[in-house]
A and B are shown apart, each in its own frame.
Chain A
């Protein structure tokens, strides 16, 4: 039996039954969604490291850049993507954007993703209280992110816990730089791309705003970070990763 693990501790605690130890013992091999998840399995679930293969999550090929349509959204400088849940850190996203906007009067930001009405109400209250109405838009769910990628800006990933956020890899595949904090696989991805300096400690809103602000104010640095991440994300396509997952499942070389 092979178990492909896509969750970190918080979600795992919620979805796994209390008697998970007996279930884990029946698994022959684990495929972990990235190094961060592999560390959880080894360090906290007590799984022997040889039984764990870390495989970054696969992403789709990047489609050709669409010709800007007349109904395309106005470009944003800072994009956040994820369900409107505390785990995804939409509240922190608002706090970081508030600091960035204080000295950048033309900054525009958007969060794509829906959530439960109660959480949306809190984030909406934050946006209003921070004076960001009209500058930070809660867009809701969008089937197609392509029109929204901030090609002149950055992806701000503020999840409190996220094993391997696909959106960070997808941003990288498009050369969009990512700024995040050390709470999951996005930090590993940035470190491997040589951009560890774009990772702030968890919950360090000011540190995250400083890193994001430095990129926003320096197009060359932004381009370098985006290019480095594009290189790192190039091997994350499904065509590349699916054989790796399969090899981990059957125990042979990819």
Chain B
């Protein structure tokens, strides 16, 4: 066991990190940030040899590789491998166990060249199928750490209802990104759950263009939403708030960064949604600065990283009471409004623009809180300690 790096032979524990995919969403990004912290902490001598195993490829791969992690993507970002196609066919014909067997054989074959792990980190419940597949091949004594990032609906979509308890039971350590997720884990039988929240990094000063300095950029007051549009992210609520804001504050532009609703959630072509839709980007904050308000309209969101990022940039946050957001925004750090009371939500957003003094006090408090509790240097040691046992 153990990895070999550099000119001198350095043996350190090997960790396999299993995750569903490498898209630019919360679970992979949270991992990439901790991997980056690990790569630079302790004078650049990482404590763990990280091998990331993802069900699907994606843009976060490059972030992980830059942090020294080895990455194996078992499937392409779009489409399927041959084994994946066979497994999908079997699953569609009602032969789910055979499908899982085919997938498992292929995945274990792909992982055979990897150094044997001392610890396996299940990064999010979406990695459950991967964990099921690799578990039979894990060496004796290999520890399992589960880091849960999901609330109820996301959990129900990530793994079978009766699978969470066995997963947690098999884990040596259970981590959760926020208290409500920890509560769910305890309800499923986890005896001890440690909080390891997401992290955010201070924006790097540099040649970033000033807000509004680029064509199409976010000059003037703006209401922002971020993420892949979906029921869970409450994109429909954002549109409703944008309409109301347009009536009350026509000077405020509403933009959603992360793409437009698509598939069955797409709106009629040409529909006036009072919202501009920006594609996903690696740098969503480059053009954004105060006066801006981030609206988190999610129906369910454990602890969206964009709330932390907004905090570090002095952007006001108005959010629904889901996951760890009420705790994050408590004590005057932001506004929390019932997601079903859309007029009240829109009014709260409006207050952020109407009273800059109060807004500034909230954003300053949020900035201090995020820096104190969500810096990688604060969260990283807890994460590493859990992995090192």
Contacts and interface: CB of A to CB of B under 8 A. Distances in A.
A202 B236 CA distance: 10
Most A CB contacts (10 A, CB to CB) among B266, B299, B341 go to: B266
B144 to A, nearest CB: 29
Given A95-B342, A125-B153, A206 B265 contact: no
A203 B264 contact: no
A48 interface: no
A114 to B, nearest CB: 15
Contacts of B267: 160-161, 183, 202-203
- Report, as a range, how many residues of chain B touch the other chain: 20 to 34
A92 B268 contact: no
A91 B231 contact: yes
A23 B265 CA distance: 27
Interface string B98-125: 0000000000000000000000000000
Contacts of B299: 125-126, 129
A95 B268 CA distance: 19
Contact of B265 (A36, A98, A160, A205): A160
A204 B265 contact: no
Main SS class of interface, A: helix
Interface of A: 8-10, 36, 40, 44, 85-87, 91-92, 95, 98-99, 102, 121-122, 125-126, 129-131, 160-162, 182-184, 201-207
Interface in B264-294: 264-269, 271-275
B262 to A, nearest CB: 9
A193 B266 CA distance: 28
A130 to B, nearest CB: 5
Given A85-B264, A129-B299, A182 B236 contact: no
Interface of B: 153, 156, 231, 236-237, 239-240, 243-244, 261, 263-269, 271-275, 299, 340-343, 346
Given A95-B237, A122-B231, A202 B268 contact: yes
B236 A201 contact: no
Nearest to A88: B264
B265 A130 contact: no
A80 to B, nearest CB: 15
A201 B54 CA distance: 42
Given A201-B243, A201-B274, A203-B273, A129 B268 contact: no
Q: Which 7 residue pairs of A and B lie closest in terms of their CB atoms, listed nearest first?
A: A202-B271, A203-B239, A205-B240, A204-B243, A183-B268, A86-B264, A161-B268
14 contacts: A10-B269, A86-B231, A91-B231, A99-B340, A122-B231, A126-B299, A130-B340, A160-B266, A160-B268, A161-B266, A205-B239, A205-B243, A206-B240, A206-B342
Given A122-B231, A125-B153, A203-B243, A92 B273 contact: no
Most A CB contacts (10 A, CB to CB) among B231, B268, B340 go to: B268
A102 B343 CA distance: 12
Given A86-B231, A98-B340, A92 B236 contact: yes
Contacts of A161: 266-269
B271 A203 contact: yes
Contacts of A85: 264
Contacts of A184: 268
B240 A203 contact: yes
A204 B274 contact: yes
Most A CB contacts (10 A, CB to CB) among B156, B236, B341 go to: B236
Given A121-B156, A202-B239, A203-B236, 10 more contacts: A10-B269, A125-B153, A160-B266, A161-B266, A161-B269, A201-B272, A202-B272, A203-B273, A203-B274, A206-B342
A161 B342 CA distance: 22
B342 A99 contact: yes
A207 B243 CA distance: 8
B173 to A, nearest CB: 30
